[in-house]
Structure 1
Amino acid sequence: MTSKMMTGGLSEAKSATPEIQELVDEIKPTFEGKNNKKYEEFKAVSYKSQVVAGVMYYVKVCLGNDEYAHLKIYRPLPHTEKPIELVDFQMGKTEDDEVTYF
């Protein structure tokens, strides 16, 4: 198996980086608004990415108290000057749940 990222294909799971945490921090208010709930902990654990017209990130986030969510975050290409977007999310995940395409 190759670890090269293909356009349209989902990458292998990687540990979250400071860049991924910044994405998650930026999208946190939107996520909290959609859930009508504030989270003290909002820590990116791991992620996969998909190259589209920009990059789609699938990020596992620890919400505290053994509660996890998977976030689908879209980062448009820089020249578009569009903001990142929380496309979708899945609640009720565990630390062991693999982040997959959704």
Structure 2
Amino acid sequence: MEPQMKATTRTALGAVSDPAPATQAIQSNVELVKKDVEEKLGRTFSVYQATQFCTQTVNGYKYFVKVDVGNSEFIHLELYKPINGQLSLLIVEDKKSESDPLKK
């Protein structure tokens, strides 16, 4: 798995890892799709900080990421990176709270 982007627990192929605190590598990935997220949601974010993530290995890597967007609001992102490809944004879930669990 890509360095600094795996959750701390080992999981079986295809299983989703337990949530882990976001790493700098996860934050970098979230920044790469920020413009796409803002376009999908029709708003911009001055706060945009990954707080938690899970991973899944499925013919590449899926990342489920909780992002703090300020004012006690969070969004959930689902990202996908094929083994030899570019990161893409699959799903954005808006109006989440800090206590909402990441999709598993």
Which one has the bigger helix percentage?
1
After TM superposition, the score normalised by the length of structure 2 is 0.88
Aligned pair partner of 2:97 in 65, 83, 94: 94
Q: For 1:37, what is the secondary structure of its paired residue? A: coil
Distance 1:31 1:83 in 2: 16
1:31 aligns with 2:47: no
Equivalent pairs counted in the alignment come to 96
* 1:8-23 matched pairs, under 5 angstroms: 8-23=14-29
The superposition leaves residues 46-101 of structure 1 with CA deviations (integer Å, 9 ceiling, x where unpaired) of: 00000011110000000111110000000111xx2x22100001111101111013
Ranges in structure 1 where 5+ consecutive residues have no aligned partner: none
2:53 to 39, 47, 51: 47
- TM-score where L is the length of structure 1: 0.90
The equivalent of 1:57 in structure 2 is: 63
For residue 5 of structure 1, report the CA deviation from its aligned partner. Answer: 1.6
The amino acid that maps onto 1:45 is T
One-letter amino acid matched to 1:95: E
Q: Which has the higher strand share?
A: 1
- Aligned to 1:19, the other structure's residue is in SS state helix
